[in-house]
């Protein structure tokens, strides 16, 4: 019998675990999180579908374990899935390096925050003016996180996880077929 773990499964678990563990740190600065910086290196290797699934499922799984699912889950999960697809398109012809992580990550964070800013006005009767006022410090902290994690985490994940063939394995004995 031959048991095989699909290529990338263990790597996805490592990526999601890194995001989970960091996001669970008590008293960490709000919105200082590594999700986008983790999506980017995965997008270089796992194509459109893999990149979408990594971003989308990362949010769905985290909310399932922490706050529960709500309209915020589906909105942010879809946005991170789309960012995964955009990251794949961006990194398809570019190197996975700090410069490119920053070139993609900074505008992607601003776009993500501009879209998700409307969660309050759409679902919580928040005024757009209040959403914009609250979004400024929120986006500043989000950008600080994206920049920090794009410099330190994304290159490390790409080198030690994504490019590491030792993390793609199968185990068990193969059953030989009789001729």
Query: Residue 125 falls within a domain, yes or no?
Result: yes
Q: Is residue 175 part of a domain?
A: no
With a cut of 70, list the residues of the chain below it in pLDDT. Answer: 1-7, 169-179
Whole-angstrom Cα distance, residue 162 to residue 158? 5
Domain around 101: 2-167
48 falls within a domain: yes
CATH code: domain of residue 117: 1.10.1760.20
Burial of residue 44, with CB atoms counted within 10 A of its CB: 0-12 exposed, 13-18 middle, 19 or more buried: buried
| Number of independent structural domains in the chain | 1
90 in a structural domain: yes
Which pLDDT does position 31 carry in this prediction? 86
Reduce the DSSP state of residue 93 to 3 states and report it.
coil
| 178 belongs to a structural domain | no
The sign of the CA dihedral 117, 139, 48, 64 is negative
Could you give the CA distance from residue 35 to residue 73 in angstroms, rounded to a whole number?
14
Q: What is the pLDDT of residue 166?
A: 80
What is the chain's Cα-based Rg?
18
Q: What is the pTM of this model?
A: 0.87
Residue 34 lies in a domain: yes
């Amino acid at each position: 019998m031959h048991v095989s773990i699909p290529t990338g499964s263990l790597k996805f678990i490592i990526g999601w675990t890194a995001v989970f563990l960091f996001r669970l740190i008590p008293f960490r600065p709000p919105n200082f999180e590594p999700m986008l910086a983790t999506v980017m290196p995965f997008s270089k290797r796992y194509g459109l579908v893999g990149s979408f699934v990594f971003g989308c499922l990362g949010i769905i799984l985290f909310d399932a374990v922490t706050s529960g699912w709500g309209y915020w889950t589906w909105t942010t999960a879809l946005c991170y899935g789309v960012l995964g697809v955009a990251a794949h398109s961006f990194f398809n012809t570019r190197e996975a390096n700090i410069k490119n992580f920053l070139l993609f990550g900074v505008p992607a964070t601003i776009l993500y925050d501009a879209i998700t800013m409307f969660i309050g006005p759409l679902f919580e009767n928040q005024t757009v003016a209040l959403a914009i006022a609250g979004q400024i410090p929120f986006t500043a902290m989000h950008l600080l996180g994206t920049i920090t994690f794009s410099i330190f985490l994304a290159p490390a994940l790409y080198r030690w996880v994504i490019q590491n063939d030792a993390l793609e394995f199968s185990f068990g004995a193969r059953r030989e077929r009789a001729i």
